[in-house]
Amino acid sequence: MIKVDDGNQTRISQGDIYKNIEYIEYAHEIDGYIEISKIIFPLVVVLTQDCDLEQDFKFREATDKTKDKILFSVLVAPMYNADSVFDGTHLDDVYEQEKSMEPISRKTPGKFLKQNERCRYHYLEFPEGTQLAPIIIDFKHYFSININQLISCRKDHFVYRMSELYREDLSLRFANFLSRIGLP
């Protein structure tokens, strides 16, 4: 079980959890119409390094500085309901298909996943009172959000921030996932 807090009140931070975040898949102009496809993720967690986010905030606020440290986007990963991931149903509403993902047995594979021994996934249980069900972060589904968009909706969409030790663990495991070497 991890710990969470109310986070940094002034800026986006690594380990922040946000609700109802939109990922724009495409925006096409066709015959005088614009068609936009987006996926709305109920929960995401911020993966971008906190020092980069801090620098972005300082340079964004200052009027006498260059734009050297300003970020274009924030890296996040979706947080899925753990039971849905085990059932393989967590993306059924995206793909409009039942059991659109491979189910994961709750026996040995599920136990490995819960012990964070599968590099693709990060399992989290939250303290009572947070109203957060057990969730699984799927590193394979990371995506970026325009930082201005996230700043503008930060207050309304912020849920919690993972406490320090747990966000360091998350960051390290994500780095390991990205830098893994696929052996034949």
CB of 55 vs other proteins, minimal distance in Å: 29
**Inter-CA distances, 27 with 20, 34, 102, 132, 142, Å:** 19, 7, 29, 33, 20
124 alpha-carbon distance from chain centroid: 13
CB of 11 vs other proteins, minimal distance in Å: 21
Compute φ and ψ for 77, nearest 5 degrees.
Answer: -130, 140
Measured from the CB atom, the residue of 12 and 17 that comes closer to other proteins is: 17
CB 87 within 8 A of CB 153: no
Cα–Cα nearest to 155, from 18, 59, 5, 52: 18
How far, in Å, CA of 100 to CA of 117, rounded? 23
Among 8, 42, 52, 142, binds other proteins (CB under 8 A): 42
Among 5, 40, 51, 117, binds other proteins (CB under 8 A): 40
DSSP 116: T
Measured from the CB atom, the residue of 29 and 64 that comes closer to other proteins is: 29
Measured from the CB atom, the residue of 57 and 78 that comes closer to other proteins is: 78
**Contact pattern from residue 117 through residue 156 relative to other proteins, giving x for each residue in contact according to CB under 8 A and a dash for the rest:** -------------xxxxxx--------------------x
How many residues can be counted in the chain?
A: 184
Q: Determine the size of the site formed for other proteins (CB under 8 A).
A: 39
**Which H/E stretch holds residue 41?**
strand 33-46
Q: With CB under 8 A as the contact rule, which of the stretches 47-55, 73-81, 113-121, 167-175 interacts with other proteins?
A: 73-81
Q: Using CB under 8 A as the criterion, which residues of the chain lie in contact with other proteins when the complex forms?
A: 19-20, 22, 25, 29, 32-43, 78-81, 84, 89-96, 130-135, 156-157, 159
